Amino acid sequence: MKLFDVYSLYDIEPVRGEGNYVFTADGERYLDLYGGHAVISIGHAHPHYVKSISDQVAQLGFYSNSVQNSLQQRMADLLGELSGYDDYQLFLVNSGAEANENAMKLASFVTGREKILAFDKAFHGRTSAAVAATDNPKIQAPLNRTEKIDFSPLNDIEAAKVKLATGEYAAVIVEGIQGVAGIRMVEDEFLQQLRELTEATGTLLILDEIQSGYGRSGRFFAHQHAGIRPDIITAAKGIANGFPMGALLIAPHIKPEKGMLGTTFGGSHLACAAAIAVLEVMRQENLVENAAEVGEYLIEELGKMPELKEVRGRGLMIGVEIEGSASELRKRLLFDHHIFTGGAGATTVRLLSPLTITKAEADHFLAEFKKLLASN
């Protein structure tokens, strides 16, 4: 059988990971500033993570959501403590798209309304409502296209005001920082105004923190820089360091009903063991603070490089706008300098390193990047 060929692949195969590095079968080492697409939060093969998952799978890997599973409550307690949302409710799923899908569905259940407002260049996933709320017609099949989802310009509160005044929208969905769009900043003031506007119009505010959350921005969630509290927050990617998992954090005013949401795999014993280990390591190693510190340092140092057109971001979610082709530059970073990075569009290099990156590793990247830009 052949693989369904939908991914553009680099000709390289990492077979082992340790800390902030991955290794190929011939033992070559690569610095990971991509985190396997913002997924590796606590570094590769962290000993506490490996032990937690190994112990759990030997004990009980899975049972259904029809029995007690105290690991879910343990995860909820830890997440509440670390994120500052201990009064919220947790619902566990398996991916980012599924988290957003459920968030929009829940908003529609709660408000009785049919429409969702999203923003230009948004990316919310590839399932039905999530892809309809994604501003990219190329990845929407005819089945996914719907008049129930509208787009408004990001950071333009007046445009959102006109739409929300109709009272038709169940929710507004917005990323903490737009990732796939190329690290596009959502202004703090815009988020604050959006919070007021959604409250005034009985619309729920959904913060998609799938890429920008879990410490990446230097706060637990990126919207916390703006000091607001959304009605629903979605998380995935770094939540279980590579084990597939997604989550909804749901405000106390939203009341659950039996059967309203559900999933077979969501919140499994093994997924919870992985997620608990991630939160324990984040707390033990102060990884949100590390993301803030090393991220600020990287942004400052990259900002001094005259060859770069723009540097955007917060914490360890950084977009570097270059002259020329980002994919060419990334290829040279990978094959000539042994550094993995991410892309976003034709001219943006995206840095999404594990939250464990050290200042010495950041310095190594900066030195190699300088060399590469000088030779260009």
Ligand X SMILES: Cc1ncc(COP(=O)(O)O)c(C=O)c1O
Binding site for ligand X (CB under 6 A): 95-97, 100, 123-125, 175, 179-180, 208, 210-211, 236
Contacts of 113 (CB under 8 A, 6+ apart): 107, 167, 168, 169, 170, 203
CB of 3 to ligand X, least distance (A): 18
CB of 93 to ligand X, least distance (A): 10
Token pair recorded at residue 53: 């998952």
Residue number, 340 or 369, with CB nearest to ligand X = 340
CB of 118 to ligand X, least distance (A): 11
N-to-C CA span, the chain? 42
CB of 241 to ligand X, least distance (A): 14
- Chain residue at closest Cβ approach to ligand X: 96
Residue number, 95 or 198, with CB nearest to ligand X = 95
Contact call for residues 352 and 32 (beta carbons, < 8 A): no
Residue number, 19 or 133, with CB nearest to ligand X = 133
What is the distance between the alpha carbons of residues 360 and 365, in angstroms, rounded to a whole number?
9
CB of 125 to ligand X, least distance (A): 4
DSSP string, 330-367: HHHHHHTT-EE-EE-SSSEEEE---TT--HHHHHHHHH
CB of 359 to ligand X, least distance (A): 27
Give the angle 345-126-177 at the CA atoms, nearest 5°: 50
Token pair recorded at residue 221: 């969630």
Contact call for residues 34 and 340 (beta carbons, < 8 A): yes
CB of 247 to ligand X, least distance (A): 11
The three-class DSSP label of residue 58 is helix
Residue number, 95 or 347, with CB nearest to ligand X = 95
Which class for 77: exposed (0-12), middle (13-18), buried (19 or more C-beta within 10 A)? middle
Residue number, 208 or 231, with CB nearest to ligand X = 208
Residue number, 6 or 25, with CB nearest to ligand X = 6
Best CA proximity match to 314, nearest among 295, 301, 297, 298? 295
Residue number, 90 or 180, with CB nearest to ligand X = 180
